[in-house]
């Protein structure tokens, strides 16, 4: 066992204590503390017993074969599963120590702190400017909107490409530009975390590299959780990696995702502890 894994495990126990008591004694407190998380769709299990921590100003990658519940997991972080009819979430998701699924917590408030970027670029059929301003407007932003739009677009590395067409429809942009616009739109709400569900899977290789570079930039200010089924991408960009895998119950005809291994990205890819992780990262299946 190596140092990182040890510290990680200590961190988990520390945070578990921390959910009632003080924050862990060392390092920064987790942004997310997930304990025993499970999701059912229409009564059928899709994800079971996931426990992991997301650290501030780090990129946490969720990898695994298609259908293993990566999207399901990331949607738990900002309560997007609430929007899916029949979805039920059990277990705990603590955001800075606070249970976001507790009674009385408004998902709208949660989502204003935790931004999300989707697999398919989904700008609104509005101008570039209005796309970026949308979130700030509904949040009652009082400052200089022009300045906020420019700042957000700059941070999303898109400003130079769109500054002359702010009033043009966002749908006229290329796919890669649209995705960076979606990132700018998420940033404009000034969130604390950005969730990305396969943000580059619909993009060409060059646009993908731009998004990956951008993530490294954004990491300075935000905590990022990214789903990807591209292992190289996870290895390139992330600090920690969670490997999910599908477990099958032949008798009951059911399948669900489980967290096989969670740790430092370098460990997951070079010194995996679990045989399934090793097989997956070495490309033997999935």
Partner 1 sequence: MSEPVSPEALSTASSTRAERFRRERTRLGRRADTLFAGLTALAGLLVLIILAYMVLTTTNVALPVFRSQGLSFVTSATWRPADGQFGILAFVYGTLVTSAIALVIAVPLSLGVSLYLVEVAPRWLRGPVAYAVDLLAAVPSVVYGLWGVFVLLPLFLQPAAEFLSRTLGFIPIFAGPASGISYFGAGVVLAIMIVPIISSLSREVFRAVPVEDRHAAYALGATRWEMIRGAVLPRSRAGIVGATMLGLGRALGETIAVALLIGSRAEVGASILKPGYSIAALIANTFGEANPEGIRALVGAGVVLFAITIMINMAARMLVWRMVER
Ligand X SMILES: Nc1ncnc2c1ncn2[C@@H]1O[C@H](COP(=O)(O)OP(=O)(O)O)[C@@H](O)[C@H]1O
Residues that bind partner 1 (CB under 8 A): 78, 80, 83, 85, 108-109, 111-112, 115-116, 118, 120, 122-126, 134-135, 138-139, 169, 182, 185-186, 189
Measured distance between the N- and C-terminal CA atoms of the chain, rounded to whole angstroms: 27
The separation between CA 283 and the C-alpha centre of its own chain, rounded to angstroms, equals: 23
Residue 18 engages ligand X in binding (rule: CB under 6 A): no
Please identify which residue in 28, 84, 102, 248 interacts with ligand X, judged by CB under 6 A: 84
Q: Does 72 bind Mg ion (CB under 5 A)?
A: no
SS3 2: coil
The pair of three-digit structure tokens given for residue 227, joined into one six-digit string: 């789903």
- 187 versus 194: smaller Cβ distance to ligand X: 194
Radius of gyration of the chain (CA): 19
41 binds, options ligand X, partner 1, Mg ion, none, Cβ within 5 to 8 A by partner type? ligand X
How far apart CA 222 and CA 193 sit, in angstroms, is: 5
Under DSSP, the state recorded for 171 is G
CB atoms within 10 A of CB 142: 7
Nearest approach, Cβ of 43 to partner 1 (angstroms)? 16
Among 55, 60, 71, 179, binds Mg ion (CB under 5 A): 71
H-type helices in 100-230, by residue range? 107-113, 128-138, 145-155, 159-162, 175-187, 205-218
Q: Considering only residues 1, 3, 21, 66, which one is a binding residue for ligand X as defined by CB under 6 A?
A: 66
**Residue 108 · residue 96 · CB < 8 Å:** no
Q: Which does 68 bind (CB under 5 to 8 A by kind): ligand X, Mg ion, partner 1, none?
A: ligand X
Q: From partner 1, ligand X, Mg ion, none, which one binds at residue 5 (CB under 5 to 8 Å depending on kind)?
A: none
- Report if residue 70 touches ligand X, rule: CB under 6 A: yes
- Residue 71 or 131 having the CB closest to Mg ion: 71
φ/ψ of residue 98, rounded to 5: -110, 130
- In the complex with ligand X, the residue whose CB is nearer, 54 or 156, is 54
| Sites for ligand X among residues 35-64 (CB under 6 A) | 41, 46, 64
Strand-pairing partners, residue 48, are: 258
Spatial contact of 48 and 256, defined as CB atoms under 8 Å apart: yes
Cβ-based neighbours of 8, under 8 Å, separated by 6 or more: 53, 262, 263, 264
C-beta closer to Mg ion: residue 169 or 201: 201
Task: Quote the least distance from Cβ 40 to ligand X, whole Å.
Answer: 9
Kindly list the residues in this chain that would bind Mg ion in the complex (CB under 5 A). 71
Interface residues with ligand X (CB under 6 A) are: 41, 46, 64, 66-72, 84
């Amino acid at each position: 066992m190596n140092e990182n894994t040890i510290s990680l495990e200590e961190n988990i126990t520390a945070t578990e204590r921390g959910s009632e008591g003080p924050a862990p004694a060392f390092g920064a407190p987790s942004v997310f503390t997930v304990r025993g998380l499970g999701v059912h769709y229409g009564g059928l299990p899709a994800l079971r017993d996931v426990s992991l921590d997301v650290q501030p100003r780090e990129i946490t990658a969720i990898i695994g074969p298609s259908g293993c519940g990566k999207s399901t997991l990331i949607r738990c972080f900002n309560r997007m599963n609430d929007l899916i009819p029949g979805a039920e979430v059990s277990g705990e998701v603590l955001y800075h120590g606070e249970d976001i699924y507790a009674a009385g917590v408004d998902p709208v408030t949660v989502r204003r702190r935790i931004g999300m970027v989707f697999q398919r670029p989904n700008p609104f059929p509005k101008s570039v400017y209005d796309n970026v301003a949308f979130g700030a407007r509904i949040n009652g932003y009082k400052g200089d909107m022009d300045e906020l739009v420019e700042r957000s677009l700059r941070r999303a590395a898109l400003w130079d490409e769109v500054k002359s067409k702010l009033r043009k429809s966002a749908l006229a942009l290329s796919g890669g530009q649209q995705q960076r616009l979606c990132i700018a739109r998420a940033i404009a709400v000034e969130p604390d975390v950005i969730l990305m569900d396969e943000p580059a899977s619909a993009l060409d290789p060059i646009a993908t590299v731009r998004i990956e570079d951008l993530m490294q930039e954004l990491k300075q200010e935000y905590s990022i959780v990214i789903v990807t089924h591209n292992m190289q991408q996870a290895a390139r960009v992330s600090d920690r990696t969670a490997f999910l895998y599908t477990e099958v119950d032949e008798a009951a005809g059911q399948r669900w995702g489980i967290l096989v291994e969670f740790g430092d990205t370098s460990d997951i890819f070079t010194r995996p502890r679990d045989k399934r992780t090793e097989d997956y990262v070495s490309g033997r299946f999935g």
